[in-house]
Amino acid sequence: MFLVKAIAFNGPVWSISIEFFYYLCATRVRKYSKLAGTVVVLSLLCFVLPRRDDLGTVYTMITKFAALTYAWPWITGFFLWRQKSLWVLLSLAAGSIAVAISPYYISGPYAVVTYVLSVFVILCSNRIQLSSRLCKFFNLWGDLSYPLYLVHVPLFIVIHVIFQATSPVTYGLAAILSALILHIVVEKYFAKQFITRWVRKISK
C-alpha cells in the first residue's frame, strides 16, 4: 500500500495511499489513545532522524516509511480537535520543535508559519462564529482544496501543451472548474454511494 513513488509531473499523487490509510485509521484511533501516543513518539523520532542510506537497509526503510513519518501531525491534530489532554499538548510542543529543527521537510524560511496557523485554527475553531452562508462558502473551498491539490499540476501541463495558454487566470479558472467537477462526481456521488458504506461496514 505504501510502495509509492512520486511522479515527476504530479508530485502530490504519492501521498494518496497514506492519506487513505489515515482515513481508515480514523475509525479506530480514538479508541486507542495510549497506542496513538506511542505512535506519535515513534513518528517524531522518525521525522527528525538523519536521512542516510549508508546506515543499512532497515534504517533506510524506517526513515523513508512516510506513513509513520507523517503520523504525528495527523494524530496530534485529530486529538487536538477533540480534547486538550496533557499528552496532546506535549505532542504539539514536541512537534513544533521537530518542525523547527528538521532540515528534511521544511522548505522556505516561512514554512513554520503554516504549522503555527494550522494549530491556531484548530485551537480557536470552537470560538470562531460565522454565519451559515460563510460556513457553507468556506466548507466548499475546503472540499475543493484536495482535488485542486491533486489535479492542478497535470492540468496546467495539458492546458499549456494543447492550448498554449499563458494567462494565470486561465490556469486558475480551469483548475477550480476541474476541482469542482471532481468534487461533485467523486466525493459527492461515488464516495457516498460506495466508499462511505464500505468504511462504515469495516468500522463496526
> Could you report the per-residue pLDDT of 115-155, keeping only the tens digit for each?
677 777 777 766 777 788 888 888 888 888 888 887 877 88
- Quote the cell numbers at residue 184: 461533485
> Could you report the per-residue pLDDT of 46-65, keeping only the tens digit for each?
888 877 777 888 888 877 78
- Quote the cell numbers at residue 165: 495558454
> Could you report the per-residue pLDDT of 15-34, keeping only the tens digit for each?
777 877 887 777 777 777 77
> Could you report the per-residue pLDDT of 168-189, keeping only the tens digit for each?
888 888 888 888 888 888 877 7
| Structural domain boundaries in the chain | 1-128, 133-204
Cα(185)–Cα(32) distance, rounded to whole angstroms?
34
Cα(146)–Cα(69) distance, rounded to whole angstroms?
21
124, HSE (Cβ side, Cα atoms, 13 Å): 9
